[in-house]
């Protein structure tokens, strides 16, 4: 199974961000980590004999802001509570300017073997527009430092469709990134989410969203360019060197078990989805009453004071999720596995709208090899429309 740990701290909030994060001093960090450790204890007893952990993702927020001592307490709690596979992928997310030699060496020493750096762009003007708290130089400094310290698996997050970003900017961004030869690259289209400063600016008319055609052109360019640079495009927004796909993120797209711990974290365990408290004070308070480890086979919504929502997937939920998550993978879904898992072929399950599927196949948005179903390049561009067909 995979473990996700949410660290909701940032220096400042970016203009496009609607994730859970806040600025925090040491005392706040400590109070939060104490509660998070309580949550780890709560679950470790329940799961440690049944599952072993082979991926850990420390995400945020900006986990690299976390005090080293607190992070060490946290990882110790994890390693003592759960059974970890030998080659467990352990990722920490970071932002440029927040890393230094001391931190990087400590990460490696704790067993963290994958570093993700969210730089988004190498253009200072665009970084300012996005509201990022760092410059391009901060990124280059941190990146080379991480290499020097011995990180062998680094991801860089890049963003396109930033208002004001031209195709030339984007090409330059990709070239620069490829020159650094990271093992993994994420490339996201900016989404303007409600409640963010960008959303407000868009409403006021001071921010013009990149149009759909340009968005797709940038995406298509990235697909082609990264392929030329021998990156394997393996998920809608992710590419990597062979063997360096992110094991943890693939669990999200393959209906595998993952336990999300920390503020607002989401889990999927044994066909049940559940998620945590999103209010920081309430989360910390829950830590105060989380005394007893949970017994086996107890419902987390009842036994965990951190959990606020759950949903036991129906067969239909499982089927639709298997497809709308699975098709994010460029290789698509295994139709034989589908049949084995759900006792019916995909065509039987979707008999009511299979005509529509066949139209998508005929018009080359989807490919059905008999063994696998996947999007074509142009299928990805309208993936949401196609995926809605799999919702019951």
- Binding residues for another protein (CB under 8 A): 4, 6, 19, 59, 188-189, 191, 211-213, 215-216, 219, 236-237, 249, 251-252, 258, 260, 264-268, 273, 275, 311, 320-321, 324-325, 378, 380-385, 387-388, 391
Residue placing its CB nearer to another protein in the complex, 60 or 287: 60
CB 48 → another protein: shortest distance, Å?
A: 20
Supply the minimum distance, in Å, between the C-beta of residue 211 and another protein.
Answer: 7
Sign of the four-CA dihedral 91, 96, 102, 103? negative
Nearer to another protein, 141 or 389 (CB): 389
CB of 358 to another protein, least distance (A): 14
Closer CB to another protein, residue 61 or residue 81?
61
Pairing label, strands 52-60, 2-7: parallel
CB of 140 to another protein, least distance (A): 25
The residue (of 124 and 325) whose beta carbon lies closer to another protein is 325
Q: How far is the CB of 335 from another protein (least distance, A)?
A: 21
Q: Which of 169, 61, 172, 175 is nearest to 118 (CA)?
A: 61
Nearer Cβ to another protein (258/306): 258
Minimum Å gap between C-beta 223 and another protein is: 12
Residue closer to another protein, measured from CB, 245 or 267: 267
């Amino acid at each position: 199974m995979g473990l996700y740990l949410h660290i909701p701290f940032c220096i400042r909030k970016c203009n496009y961000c609607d994730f859970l994060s806040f600025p925090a001093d040491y005392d706040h960090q400590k109070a939060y980590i104490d509660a998070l450790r309580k949550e780890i204890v709560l679950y470790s007893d329940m799961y440690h004999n049944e599952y072993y952990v082979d991926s850990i993702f420390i995400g945020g927020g900006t986990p690299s802001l976390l005090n080293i001592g607190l992070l060490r307490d946290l990882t110790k709690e994890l390693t003592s509570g759960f059974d970890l596979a030998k080659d467990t992928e352990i990722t920490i997310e970071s932002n440029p300017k927040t890393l230094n030699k001391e931190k990087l060496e400590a990460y490696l020493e704790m067993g963290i073997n994958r570093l993700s750096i969210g730089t988004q762009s190498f253009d200072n003007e665009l970084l300012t527009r996005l509201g990022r708290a760092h410059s391009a130089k901060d990124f280059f400094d941190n990146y080379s430092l991480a290499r020097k310290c011995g990180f062998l698996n680094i991801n860089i997050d890049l963003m396109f469709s930033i208002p004001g970003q031209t195709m030339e900017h984007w090409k330059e961004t990709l070239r620069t990134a490829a020159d650094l030869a990271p093992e993994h690259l994420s490339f996201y289209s900016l989404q303007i989410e409600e409640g963010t400063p960008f959303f407000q600016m868009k409403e006021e008319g001071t921010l013009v969203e990149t149009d759909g055609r340009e968005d797709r052109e940038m995406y298509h360019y990235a697909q082609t360019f990264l392929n030329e640079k021998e990156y394997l495009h393996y998920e809608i927004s992710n590419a990597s060197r062979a063997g360096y796909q992110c094991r943890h993120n693939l669990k999200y797209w393959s209906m595998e078990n993952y336990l999300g711990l920390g503020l607002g974290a989401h889990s999927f365990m044994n066909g049940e989805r559940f998620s945590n408290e999103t209010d920081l004070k309430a989360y910390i308070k829950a830590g105060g009453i989380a005394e007893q480890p949970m017994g086996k086979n107890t419902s987390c919504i009842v036994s965990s004071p951190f959990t606020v929502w759950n949903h036991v997937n129906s067969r239909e939920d499982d089927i639709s999720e298997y497809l709308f998550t699975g098709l994010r993978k460029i290789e698509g879904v295994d139709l034989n596995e589908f049949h084995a898992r759900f006792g019916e072929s995909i065509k039987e399950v979707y008999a009511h709208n299979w005509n529509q599927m066949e139209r998508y196949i005929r018009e080359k948005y989807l490919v059905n090899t008999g063994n696998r179903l996947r999007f074509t390049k142009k299928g990805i561009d309208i993936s949401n429309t196609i995926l809605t067909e799999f919702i019951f």
